[in-house]
């Protein structure tokens, strides 16, 4: 018989986990279940107070669940009656402020969690990790002499050094400027993939989640609304909340006909999930729409706002119903306010429709 493909084992498991705070439901977790697989980078994404940081703290051991269980590498580490302390869970942690020891050098910071190794092995592991993160030449420096990006890499190296089962990241790039943040996202993902590490990130930044995650878990009010690949979460959101949270989206009423979906901007492609006559809403993202000046006719609507952002024009088109559709066009397509335009769907992927707020296609 041919060899069966190896299925990655779950490294982190949360099953029906509940955490309630006395000050109300801000940050509560309400019966959350998820698994993080070996070598996977999972991103917990959502607005403030959705429970993503609480979920990370439950994994880390900084909070104890009121119900449900937490397992790390197959071992039960927490339920409502017991909770192993963070240092016994085999985890690495990268905090928002890096939490480096200012009186220790880079090498000493990285070696901090390796005290159980013999001196020679400890030194060898420190050298290996500093080479991996590109900081070998800075081993003798102190944190205050490092840039923000270098401090970030020291924090990552320290978390990687003991070979933890999983590394937890709490908004790790929020203290960096925009250009460095973009650079560090790519570097951290490369380092984690090179080391084969399993990681969980918390962020409220949608672009960061899409760039970092093998899977993204979108949270709201203590629940996971959708967990899937970045592409699926963005292009096939489970409901309107996920659709709107993952980027600009407009929702246009449609009716199913034999020829397609009838809408204010004409017929849109039909979908098999809806029977004839059924009303729904089509999700339209700005980069999926094109506008052209209407030739000898009122067109679908008028340009109501125009914002030039360098490489793109951001337009809003006001339809006769009063609804607006947003559209991103190349910087060469400049239209004055009030221009009558035709709106055309040019998505290059399947249309997504919602019925009562839930995806039906």
User: For 131-187, what is each residue's pLDDT tens digit?
Assistant: 999 999 999 999 999 998 999 999 999 999 999 999 999 998 888 888 888 888 999
**Average pLDDT of the residues in 346-360:** 89
CA 224, 228, 230, 236: dihedral to nearest 10 degrees? Answer: -90
Range of weakest confidence among 121-130, 286-295, 343-352: 343-352
**Average pLDDT of the residues in 276-288:** 92
> What's the pLDDT band for 24 if we cut at 50, 70, 90?
low
**Residues in contact with 229: Cβ distance below 8 Å, sequence separation at least 6, in sequence order:** 214, 215, 216
**Residues in contact with 21: Cβ distance below 8 Å, sequence separation at least 6, in sequence order:** 27, 28
**Residue percentage of the chain with pLDDT more than 90:** 81
- So what's the pLDDT on residue 296? 75
H/E segment holding residue 178: helix 178-195
> What's the pLDDT band for 51 if we cut at 50, 70, 90?
very high
- What are the residue ranges spanned by the domains of the chain? 10-245, 250-359
CATH fold of 10-245: Rossmann fold (3.40.50)
* Separation of alpha carbons 286 and 314, rounded Å: 8
Domain 250-359 CATH class label: mainly beta
- So what's the pLDDT on residue 347? 80
**Average pLDDT of the residues in 340-346:** 94
* Separation of alpha carbons 227 and 237, rounded Å: 10
């Amino acid at each position: 018989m041919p060899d069966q493909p190896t299925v990655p084992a779950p490294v982190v498991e949360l099953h029906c986990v509940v955490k309630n705070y006395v000050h109300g439901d801000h940050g509560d977790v309400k019966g959350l279940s998820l698994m993080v697989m070996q070598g996977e980078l999972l991103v917990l994404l959502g607005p403030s107070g959705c429970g993503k940081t609480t979920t990370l703290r439950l994994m880390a051991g900084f909070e104890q669940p009121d119900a449900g269980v937490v397992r790390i590498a197959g071992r039960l580490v927490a339920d409502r009656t017991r909770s192993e302390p963070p240092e016994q869970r085999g985890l690495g942690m990268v905090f928002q402020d890096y939490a480096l020891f200012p009186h220790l050098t880079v090498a000493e910071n990285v070696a901090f969690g390796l005290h159980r190794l013999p001196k020679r092995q400890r030194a060898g592991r420190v050298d290996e990790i500093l080479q991996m993160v590109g900081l070998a030449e800075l081993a003798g420096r102190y944190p205050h002499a490092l840039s923000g990006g270098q401090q970030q890499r020291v924090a990552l190296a320290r978390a990687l050094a003991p070979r933890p089962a999983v590394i937890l990241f709490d908004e790790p790039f929020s203290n960096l400027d925009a250009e460095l943040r973009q650079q560090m996202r790519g570097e951290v993902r490369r380092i984690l993939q090179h080391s084969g590490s399993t990681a969980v990130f918390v962020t409220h930044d949608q672009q960061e989640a899409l760039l970092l995650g093998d899977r993204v878990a979108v949270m709201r009010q203590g629940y996971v609304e959708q967990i899937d690949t970045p592409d699926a979460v963005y292009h096939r959101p489970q409901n309107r909340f996920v659709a709107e949270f993952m980027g600009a989206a407009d929702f246009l009423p449609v009716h199913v006909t034999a020829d397609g979906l009838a809408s204010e901007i004409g017929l849109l492609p039909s979908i098999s999930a809806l029977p004839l006559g059924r009303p729904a809403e089509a999700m339209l993202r700005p980069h999926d729409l094109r506008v052209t000046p209407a030739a000898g006719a009122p067109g679908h609507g008028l340009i109501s706002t125009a914002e030039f952002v360098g490489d793109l024009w951001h337009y809003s088109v006001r339809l006769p119903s009063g609804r607006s559709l947003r559209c991103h066009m190349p910087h060469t397509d400049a239209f004055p306010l009030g221009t009558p335009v035709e709106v055309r769907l040019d998505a290059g992927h399947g249309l997504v429709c919602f019925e009562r707020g839930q995806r039906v296609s």
